[in-house]
Chains A and B, each alone.
Chain A
Amino acid sequence: MRHLFCALPCEAEPLIQHFKLSELKEHELFRLYQSQDKTISLAITGIGKLNAAAAVTYHHACLQTSSTDIWLNIGVAGHANLAIGEACLINKITDDRHTTTWYPQILFKTDCTSAALITHDAPATEYQAALFDMEASGFYQMALRLGTAELIHCLKIVSDNQEHPVEKINADVVKKLIAKHKTTIEQVLEALRPLAEELNSIKAVPDHYQSLIEQYHFTQSERLHLARLLRQWTVRFPKEDIIQSLRDIKNGKELNKKIHTKLAESDFVIHD
């Protein structure tokens, strides 16, 4: 799943259209949107880091996000001298009020400029050699609690700078700036996909685990042990179905013991 977060409706609108998202009317606290195949969603957070953090939490609660999902905060931001319309992936987020800093991990190739960003509590009036916004620190801080750092990013499009100050910005300009970078946004999401897939494969529940814990009683530690044993079995004997060779099992403890014994009695070869 990919989750997009925009502060303003005008930032979200081009993305809602591009990804063909429909509003989930049953959720009223924040406006949430989702694609028909449920692989991509969007939340309009409103302005400010508290709103951004709250929207991330709400989104998580409503859509039951997973730690292997991709999270992307998209919006416009000001910078002293970067060109209007330049797309920037954020490599450092500083919360201006709390002077806390986060460093999003960009592990993929990108055409975007990477830049630092400062999140302010109120609209900033002085341009600096860093992007500034009012949401990223709230978004990132909360998404980090729910997701995996390498899959959480902020993409900002430069909307104003010293030569073209913020007064000239309106909703139409913002829509055009975001719309112009639909492909950039897709590229970032696409670059993150293999990382998310790899994480998914690591965290996947082993074959038969679910059916076995429904069939037999296991304590919590026995469940963990079962998951480990099933993984070991799959790694060592990918073509042999363990279930076929287990008979007359009375309970979970006995099942674990039988798998353990089978593994222990088998030859161990580390390479093919």
Chain B
Amino acid sequence: MISTIYIEAEIAEHPRTLDILKRFPYASKVACERYGEIFNRKSQNFRLQKKQPALILAKKHKGMVLPTPKQYAIGAEHNYYFSHMLNCLYDCRYCFLQGMFQSAHYVLFINYEDFIEDMHASLEQHNGQAVHFFSGYDCDSLALDPVTNFTDEFLPFFEKNPNALLELRTKSTQTRNLLKRNPIQNCVIAFSFTPDKIASALEHKAPNIEKRLNAIIDLQQAGWQIGLRFDPLIYTKEYKKEYTELFTRLFSRINVDLVHSVSLGSFRLPKAYFRKVEKLYPDEKLFSAPMEEEDNNIGYSAEIRNDMLAFCTNIITQHIPAEKFFPCHETV
């Protein structure tokens, strides 16, 4: 799977680095000073690199834990996100990472202890109030968990700090590490969904809807909290039919009483990201949808966006109480 691993000199002897390297005995190992030498270089092509991404083992020096935009909150006043990894195993065509990063290589920041220290500092800053930490903005939280041991390393912090809540945003079925430990109530495994046909068209390499649904059922049975994320909503002529089928399928099979939260938001990208991704994939239908530019973002026209949000909100709130529902009220 991974044929090249770049290793920052500063963490070359870190036990986590050595452990990860053992898993890839046949990969070429290339020493580097800082991951940016590879990851941020111009003249790279994200689409080509996505065919064979390398792994970059690096140290994150600052900005480990950052405030989250207000519209992404799921019930707490204080919200932060963190990214132990940049880029994703999957290749979802709507993903903003394609527009944000020069490179499709996976960067794994292996100094977890520094992330946890910063989380601790953020928690202390709020004097016992609830603080939510979101993982999965810049990567899929679980997809590489068997290699990164991310959950095993981070969950003990949340076990000890009930005021902190962790959201693991994912499309992955890599739940083994979670299932083998006792569930905690302040961790939400939040699965992203689009309807079957849309997922097949756009969510390349990601587990299909049925597999994600089965992962949810297993986690719920084990006592884990689940989130449902319908963000981005994707427009197609028959979206009402397709989203109705998706909601019916999900809400009939999962235990809705044990759903922590549901959120939704329509597809939109910052203009610069949109233009870059559109150039990378000029043959992609998604980018020929009826879109508009507004406030330096590109997304569906207000009419489509509002119709979709209203339609989906109506169905979701038939299954989920209002206090668990968090629509993202971002303009395009």
Contacts and interface: CB of A to CB of B under 8 A. Distances in A.
A145 B197 CA distance: 41
A101 B288 contact: no
Interface stretch (B47-55, B58-66, B123-131): B47-55
B256 interface: no
Interface stretch (B29-37, B76-84, B210-218, B315-323): B29-37
A35 interface: no
B278 A149 contact: no
B208 to A, nearest CB: 14
Given A91-B30, A235-B285, A269 B48 contact: no
A244 B37 CA distance: 50
B37 A103 contact: yes
A195 B32 contact: no
Nearest to A206: B282
A264 B289 CA distance: 8
B4 interface: yes
Interface residues of A, number: 38
A114 interface: yes
A199 interface: yes
Interface stretch (B10-18, B173-181, B234-242, B258-266): B234-242
Contacts of B248: none
A199 B237 CA distance: 31
B253 interface: no
A150 interface: yes
B12 to A, nearest CB: 14
B158 to A, nearest CB: 37
A245 B291 CA distance: 23
Give chain B's interface residue range (CB within 8 Å of chain A). Answer: 35 or more
B49 A101 contact: no
Contacts of A270: 197-198, 201-202, 234-236, 285-286, 289
Interface string B197-241: 110111000000000000000000000000000000011111000
Contacts of B290: 263-264, 268
A116 interface: yes
B91 interface: no
B121 to A, nearest CB: 34
Interface in B1-27: 3-4, 6
Interface string B94-120: 000000000000000000000000000
B201 A271 contact: yes
A148 B47 CA distance: 12
From A102, A106, A149, name the one whose CB has the most chain B CB atoms within 10 angstroms.
A149
From B45, B238, B281, B284, name the one whose CB has the most chain A CB atoms within 10 angstroms.
B45
B280 interface: yes
Contacts of B44: 105, 148-150
A195 B43 contact: no
A144 B32 CA distance: 19
A198 B48 contact: yes
A267 B235 CA distance: 11
A236 interface: yes
Interface in A190-243: 195, 198-199, 201-202, 206, 228, 231-233, 235-236
Contacts of A258: none
B282 A231 contact: yes
B235 A268 contact: yes
A115 B166 CA distance: 42
B30 to A, nearest CB: 5
Given A103-B6, A232-B287, A235-B285, A199 B238 contact: no
A148 B52 CA distance: 16
A92 interface: yes
B255 to A, nearest CB: 30
Contact of A271 (B3, B30, B45, B198): B198
Nearest to A101: B37
Contacts of B4: 91, 106, 114
A195 B284 contact: no
Contact of B49 (A102, A107, A231): A107
A269 B37 contact: no
A145 B201 CA distance: 35
B280 A114 contact: no
B295 interface: no
Contacts of A202: 47, 279-283
A41 B49 CA distance: 26
B282 A107 contact: no
B38 interface: yes
Contacts of A105: 44, 48-49, 54
B45 A150 contact: yes
Interface of B: 3-4, 6, 28, 30-33, 37-38, 41, 43-45, 47-49, 51-52, 54, 197-198, 200-202, 234-238, 278-290
Given A105-B54, A109-B3, A150-B49, 6 more contacts: A116-B31, A202-B280, A235-B285, A263-B290, A269-B238, A271-B285
List the 9 shortest-distance A-B pairs measured between CB atoms, nearest first.
A232-B288, A271-B201, A270-B236, A107-B52, A150-B48, A271-B197, A114-B28, A267-B237, A149-B44
30 contacts: A92-B30, A101-B33, A102-B41, A103-B38, A105-B49, A106-B3, A107-B51, A114-B30, A116-B30, A145-B43, A147-B43, A148-B44, A148-B48, A198-B48, A202-B281, A202-B282, A232-B288, A235-B284, A235-B288, A236-B285, A264-B290, A268-B236, A269-B285, A270-B235, A270-B285, A270-B286, A271-B197, A271-B200, A271-B285, A272-B201
